[in-house]
Each structure stands twice: as structure tokens, then as C-alpha cells.
Chains A and B, each alone.
Chain A
Amino acid sequence: MSQTLTASPAGRTLAEIRPHRGRRQGTVYLFLLPATAFFIGFVAYPILWVFDESLMRAGSDGVRHFVGLGNYLATLQDPIFWLVLRNMALWGLITIPVQMLIGGLIAWFIERHTQQWRGFFRTMFFLPVVTSVSVVSLVWAQIYAPYYGIAQNYLQVLGITMTDSALGNPATSIYALIVVNIWQWTGFSMLMYVAGIANLPSEVLDAARIDGARGMRLAGSVVVPMLAPVTKSLLLLGIIGTLQTFPIVQLMTGGGPSHSSEVFGTDIFRQSFVLGDTNTGATLSVIVLALAFGLTLAQIVFLGARLGGRRAAR
């Protein structure tokens, strides 16, 4: 055994092999270089740059000064920040479960109750996901418009007159946007559940049926638990998607009226590009990054997602 460790099959000693192995390892590291350089250039450096900006403040003379956590304290004292946080919480708490629920139900209906039209239904429900956000926002702005809007045209038949736009009312604007978001992204949840349902082992379902499980009992005790990996993935993607929300809000309300539908994306854009305050924009970006990191970590800890291959192999 020791001989196999110290000498090569050709009879060379370990000392003779080592330089060769070292060269080979060096070659291996060279293969890692492009990915590492890409990571450093396009991920690590921008993050560090943004972090650096968040600790600085540009004076009226354009010169940057170190202010420590000053930008963070100012951001936390800004009432708009807390409004944004409330909106983000509402966005995540409403959109993620509703999309999952509706998407899951549609997927179940399509996979279990359609045959010939299965492809058609999948495509139709997925269509909003691949539709341009600009188009979606234009259409929904017209739907919400009172007096001359699309919904009003139909409601008129019933003698109902819309007197206000949900988008224009500070009390309802965020909910109006959440509805649009749910409409657009439910198809994605559906597709994920379609894949999950298609992979359900039929023998388990058959066994459950033989044991008398039907309808809600079958769904609640067998199907839903077996689709847990899909649900967890959707939860993770939903949280990340919530924090990244930008185009639909920017196009439909611009975060208004009076910041009532402001989300992190629009607030960062407003600060950095409209008001020209890069430092506050960077501060908000770091806070979003920290939130995303914290929420993902919490999910891994509480929902038992695997951290890495080594632990999984045990």
C-alpha cells in the first residue's frame, strides 16, 4: 500500500512525481482564472465600490468625504425608507403566497384535468411572463383608468362608474401594482409546479389512492409535501424577486403618488439618477444586499436547504 503511495506505476518516486503534480495543479488553477477574474471584475468590485460610496458624501465642490455610517443613519431617519420597507413587506407577503397558490392550482388543473389542450393552457398562462413589462404596464394602466379605461367600458354595462384610479390613490397604489405583478408572474409559479407535478412518482399517488386518499386529503397529505422542493425554490426566488422589483413600478407609478408605491428599486433609481445623490443610492443598495443575504440565510437555516455538497454527502 505504502509503495503505491510513494512510487508511480512506472517506478518513479514521489519526489519525482510532485513537481509534475504541482504543474498539473497550476494548470487546474489557470482554468479557474477566467471565472475568478469575471467574478472579481463584475461582482466583487462593484459591490466593494458601492460599499465604499455608501461611506462617503460628495460636497457641493464635488469632493468626496468619509462620513462613516452617516449615510446609513440619515437613510434610517428618512420616513420614505420606512414606507419602502413597508411596501416591500406587503409585496413579498402578498405576491409570493398568492402566486404559489394560484400557480399551483392552475398547474394541478392543467396536469390532471387536461389532455389535448395541455400545451395550449400552459402557453396561455405563461404568456404574461414573457410579455414585455412596458406592454403590461400600458395595458394595466388602461385597465385601471376610470372614465375612459378598459375596465370602465365593461363596468358601464352594469351601470357602474369608476370614480378613481387605484394607481392614483396613495392608499391603494401599492395593492394595484401587486395585482399586476401577480397577474404577470403567476405563470412562472405554474410552470415550476407543472414540472414538479410531472415528476411526482405515480406509484406513491396510486398507493395513496388505494389507501383511500382523495381530493383535499390527497392534495394536503401527499401532493403538497412532495412538492415542497418546488415551493421552497419559489419562496427563495420570490424573496429575491421582491427585492429586485423595479420596472413595473417605475413604468406605472414611478413610486408615486407621494412615494406611496415606492419600492427599493425605484427609490435607489430616484436617489442615484434623478436626485444625483449616488451616496444615498449606494447606501440603499447595501441595505438591500444585506437584506437579501439575511433572508436567504434565514431560509437556508429554517427551511433546511443544503448549504454545500460536503454536508449533503454525509
Chain B
Amino acid sequence: MKRTIALATILLTSVAGFAPLKADQKEVTVWSWFVQSTMQNSIKAFEKAHPDIKVKYTYYNYSPEYITALKAASASDSLPDVIGLQPGSLTQQYRPQLEALNGPAAKDWGDGWQDKMFPVNRKQILMGNPPGDQNIYILPQESQDLVIWYNTKIFEKLGITVPKTYGDLVAAAKTLTKGGIIPMFQGAADGWQNENVYLMLANQRAAGLVDKAQKGEAPWSSPELLQAMKDWRALFTDGVFQQGALGAHAYPTGAQLFSQGRVGMMALGSWWMQESKFPPPRSQYVQNMDGFDFFYMPALNGSDHASPPVGGVDIGYGLTKNGGRNPSAWTFLASLTNGEGLQEALNDLNDLPAFVGHEPKGDVSPHVKAMYDRFMADLPKAENQRFAIPAIADALDSALAAVASGSQQPEDALKAVQDATDKALKS
């Protein structure tokens, strides 16, 4: 009997917990890999402002779950109303199933709405569109800026100052290693982190050259890109990266070690600030980001300046053809990218906004606010970090791993990237 009562209680509780749609409510379905707790805050704020709309969010890990779920749903014409996207290849894969957003955006935000987007974002959202197609299929929600984060408390303890030159960087790495600290953690088993560091190096050698190379407008064998590949190799041989970096992952291993104070430096992006908003327990370094600050890749040998900001769209969203038939879907998308939904994401320090005129509110320490303002000041100058064609990014990932391991010379590795680029641009 007790068992029956318990089961009945569980059943009733679960039924009560499941809030069905009210008669006058419309539903919007959303899929993404975006942090669940932050998205729930955004949805809560949106539903408060639009009580007649209910948002149903489905979270997936990006790979393999999300990209396989999208593929399956696309094949069976069952995509949700709104989907999380990255500019370039992911957006282009689903372009036939996406609505152009120029019209609704101009209607809600005025004709000059695109001018409020950071230049690098404007460039990225059109990446991979067929020639002449100026339609926008992805609306960016957040931007990012790639930097080198460092542990200020460890630096202070070991008497290290922020590196200004490559020599300083190598010296800092040596001091950290001697002090029993991992110098710069590189999750080189992850192609994305390798790409990010290479883009820092290449854009310092020649800003914007990688962008030209991926379009076929400059050869990958350009002296600057070749030098950047040699710089990349040196980060391993000079002991800047930790030993065995090629077998390591940035997440969760690197991020955990970094937040625990076992790592001196790590190449990440502005999104690292959100660590301070994750549920406790938080380390002394992560609390209000008290133990962290950032710098750009210092001047490499033969260079007289640090790397420029590199970044762009962190995450964006698209309106599917199914969503196009549901007017509430655009209302939610607009809120998520440029309204109350975005504000909640910014309050969680998830990343930087894609449009100007937004900033986090609420519990933000002066140190975090100062770093946030620095990022926002740098973002308009950011170079592009995205690739339009995944085959080129894949070839570059492979080349970077091969050079890092010493199994391929930089020249040969870049030739392989050139071959992949030629093949991809031809097809």
C-alpha cells in the first residue's frame, strides 16, 4: 500500500511539474548546445515579457549529439523552430532549411540594424553564402575575443610579469615549470584550440592573411603563414606548452586544472569569464575572476607588436522553415539575440554581445567589469577566426598536429592545406 501511495505521489508530482501549454499559449521549440542554466534564465525572462509564448528548449552536447541530431531532423523535415548555429560551414549546411532574417530584423530594429553589429560578426554571418546571396541566415547572439589568460596570483607569487615579447613568454614558462606549475596548457588534441593559437600567430605575422588564404586569394605557403607555422612548432619545443600537449583536451581537463590554480596560462577566449558564475564551490582564482587576467600573444621573434584581437561570433541562431511558419519563433529569436534573452546571457557573463549597446548587469565585480570593457574596446578591431569550408579547417587541424608532433615539416603541412583548399574551392 505504501508503495502504491509513493508511486501515486511521484506520478502526481511529475504531472504537476510538467506545465502543459495553456489554451491561448503558443510554443517555440529551440535546440542548441548553449549552457542550459543560462538559456533557462533567458527563456524565463522572455516568457515573463511574453506570457502568451512558451519556449521548449532541448540541450545537446555539441559533438557528436547536436550535429547528429540536426542532421537527422533535417533529413526528416522535423527541425525545431530555432536552432543554434555557428557561422560558416554549420550555417551553410542547413541554409536550404533556414529563413532569411534580413526582413524581420529590419522590420523590428530598423534599416541600420546591421551597423550595430561588430564588423567581424557582419563578415562572418555571410561566410559561405553563394556569390550574390546577401541573405542572413544566422543571427549572432554572442561574440568572443581570443586571448591568453593567465593566473595573476601565481604570476605574482613567482615574480613573473606579463610577457611583452616571445622571449618573456618562454622565460615565464620556464619559471612556471620550475615552480611546479603547468606553463601554458594547450589541449592540442582539440583542433579548435590549435586553430585559435595559430590564428593568433598568423594574424600577428600578417593580419587577415589566413582569411585571404582560405578564400584562395593568397597561398598558404606565404612567408608569413609559414613563419607562423614555425612559431607554432616552437611553442612546443621551447616548453611554452606543457609536455604531452598533443594528447590533452582543453575541456574538461585543461579548464579544471586552470581553475584550480595548477596552470599558469591558457589560450582561451572571453567566455572564460563565465567560470565565475558557475555554481559553487569555486576556487579562489575563479571567485569574481580574482585570480585571472588576460594578454594577447606577445611580440614574436622579428615582430614588434602583440597579436591583434581575433574572434567573432561565439554562437548564433537560425530560424528554420518550420520556425518561419510560427510567428512566435522570430519573437523569441529577436529576444535571444538582441533583447531580454540576451541580457540574461550577458548577466551570466556567458560571453560578449554581438550587437553594441549591451553590457552585463547585476552582480559583476569591478575587476570583471574592467576586463569586460577591455574586451568590448578590442572587439571592433578583431580579425576573423572562422572558416567558411570545414574541409579547409580540417586540413589545417591536421597540419598543425603533424607539425606539433614533428612528423611533418611546416612547408609540407601547409602544402597539404593548400591542396585541401584548392580541392574545396573547386568543388
Contacts and interface: CB of A to CB of B under 8 A. Distances in A.
B427 A256 contact: no
B388 to A, nearest CB: 12
Interface string A156-171: 0000001111111111
B93 A276 contact: yes
Given A148-B262, A273-B67, A168 B245 contact: yes
B189 A276 contact: no
Nearest to B177: A147
Nearest to B242: A147
A61 B242 CA distance: 45
Given A145-B247, A145-B253, A273 B71 contact: yes
Given A163-B244, A165-B244, A257-B189, A272 B401 contact: no
B249 interface: yes
A61 B262 CA distance: 50
A259 B398 contact: yes
Contact of B246 (A138, A169, A250, A274): A169
B72 to A, nearest CB: 10
Nearest to A269: B64
A148 B247 contact: no
Contact of B401 (A138, A149, A257, A269): A257
Interface of B is mostly: helix
A128 interface: no
Nearest to B96: A62
A60 B95 CA distance: 12
Given A258-B408, A273-B68, A164 B244 contact: yes
B114 interface: no
Contacts of A258: 398-399, 401-402, 405, 407-408
Interface of A is mostly: loop
Nearest to B70: A273
A84 interface: no
B244 A146 contact: yes
Contacts of A253: 189, 247
B224 interface: no
A165 B404 CA distance: 13
Nearest to A147: B243
Interface in A166-200: 166-171, 173, 176
B209 to A, nearest CB: 23
A56 interface: no
A277 B71 CA distance: 12
Interface of B: 63-64, 67-68, 71, 89, 92-93, 96, 130, 182, 188-191, 242-249, 252-253, 257, 262, 390-391, 394, 397-399, 401-402, 404-405, 407-408, 427
Interface of A: 60-62, 138, 141-142, 144-149, 162-171, 173, 176, 250, 252-254, 256-259, 269-270, 272-277
22 contacts: A141-B247, A141-B248, A145-B247, A147-B242, A148-B242, A162-B244, A164-B243, A166-B247, A167-B247, A170-B407, A252-B189, A253-B189, A254-B189, A256-B397, A257-B188, A269-B64, A270-B394, A272-B71, A273-B68, A274-B63, A274-B390, A276-B93
